[in-house]
Chains A and B, each alone.
Chain A
């Protein structure tokens, strides 16, 4: 059985895994803890109690790790009870988007889903529920990355509200609101210790460009859609190929969420350009619309499930501020 300090060091190492100089940081903290414990043992304290007291004085490993990384202008994901709850809601979001995947498929709806279908109250209600749950997940990611009162968390909340209201008012622009919501969530949680500044900026630029292209693609005439489709596809591939390996914060779940609607838009534009299926009343191709919605909903459901699995399994850190900001030595056990 390991002693308390060994357990602490193992947890700290796991928290700092992948960070530059992680080995040195862990070694320095272990030396500190063992030195502090030895000092207490010399004063007559039993070994285990001395080690536990030394750990209590230093602080929880996640907090210590975040403080160490903050001195490098980086940050670290810090789970709280809210982010764990957001993880469970992400499972709910995954279920809603999975249901939507089925509902927008041609086999379920008589014919195919069209932009007019999205305005139907029953379907719009479900989409709004899905967007609302996604919004909570986005806020959860932001809280996990920077805390509740961080300006970027507040910005995430405002953008989530905007996306929700936009979806309610203009349901046929689902891909635009989805992209706005999800790229925002991913970008604002990018403080989770990027390994490479260059990689971070590649992802930031690509994601923002994907948002612009999605907006362009949704609102463009058919003659522009071939070009927009190509650009959207290239940008999405840029995110995946260049951004993913260069950053540690961009896990598979957030990547799926961030790329779901740009990919969906690219699929829509590409299929429209190929004149896929029978032409519709407005001169567009409803089957292309339906297939792109399926792609967007399915990728969103998968992304939510992956994020839900990660966030809901984390152990929340309690009182994230108190143990670092107090100067009073805590009562020894």
Chain B
């Protein structure tokens, strides 16, 4: 999937994969690939700025642990993040429905 297609929707994607379980950064990328059957392949260098921005906005929160002898930062959704996710899902479904309505007659 082209980068421009994903542009502006990375926050929604990240919040969505964090909705079920806390995940560390690499697991977020893996989840995005798995759930989209490899269609969504986020440039890895761009994920962490997005995670940190969402953390700063209070939509996700992070905790540090030790796994395999390494420090690991895991992210989970906050209540504010859950509300934001609901709003963004609703907005996205409206966009999808609108685009589908316009393009459905196109051959």
Contact = CB atoms under 8 A, between A and B. Distances in A.
Interface in A288-333: 323-329
A68 B41 contact: no
Nearest to A54: B44
Interface stretch (A59-67, A89-97, A99-107): A59-67
B48 A68 contact: yes
A28 B73 contact: yes
Chain A binding surface, main DSSP class = helix
B49 A68 contact: yes
Interface in B1-38: 1-3, 6, 24-27, 30
A35 interface: yes
A30 B71 CA distance: 9
Contacts of A58: 44-45
Nearest to B42: A327
B83 interface: no
Given A32-B25, A68-B48, A327 B53 contact: no
A35 B44 contact: no
A266 to B, nearest CB: 43
Nearest to A329: B41
B52 interface: yes
Interface string B50-93: 10110010000000100110111100000000000000000000
Contact of A67 (B6, B24, B26, B45): B45
Given A24-B73, A32-B26, A59 B45 contact: yes
A34 interface: yes
B22 to A, nearest CB: 14
Given A326-B3, A326-B43, A327-B1, A31 B73 contact: yes
Contact residues on A (Cβ < 8 Å of other chain), bracket: 20 to 34
B49 A67 contact: yes
Nearest to A59: B45
A27 interface: yes
A72 B52 contact: yes
Given A32-B26, A36-B26, A325 B73 contact: no
A323 B45 CA distance: 8
Contacts of B3: 325-327
Interface residues of B, number: 28
A39 B64 CA distance: 21
Nearest to B54: A71
B26 A31 contact: yes
A27 B72 CA distance: 7
A31 B72 contact: yes
A238 B67 CA distance: 48
B46 interface: yes
Contact of B48 (A29, A30, A323, A329): A29
Interface in A64-84: 64, 67-68, 70-72
Contacts of B50: 71
Contacts of A195: none
A57 interface: yes
A36 B24 CA distance: 12
A326 B2 CA distance: 8
Interface string A30-51: 1110111001000000000000
Contact of A30 (B53, B67, B70): B70
Nearest to B1: A327
Contacts of A59: 43-45
A133 B98 CA distance: 57
Interface of B: 1-3, 6, 24-27, 30, 41-46, 48-50, 52-53, 56, 64, 67-68, 70-73
Given A39-B30, A58-B44, A327-B41, 15 more contacts: A27-B71, A31-B24, A31-B71, A32-B25, A32-B26, A64-B45, A64-B48, A68-B49, A68-B52, A71-B48, A323-B43, A325-B3, A327-B1, A327-B42, A328-B41
8 contacts: A28-B48, A32-B25, A32-B26, A35-B27, A57-B44, A71-B48, A324-B46, A325-B3
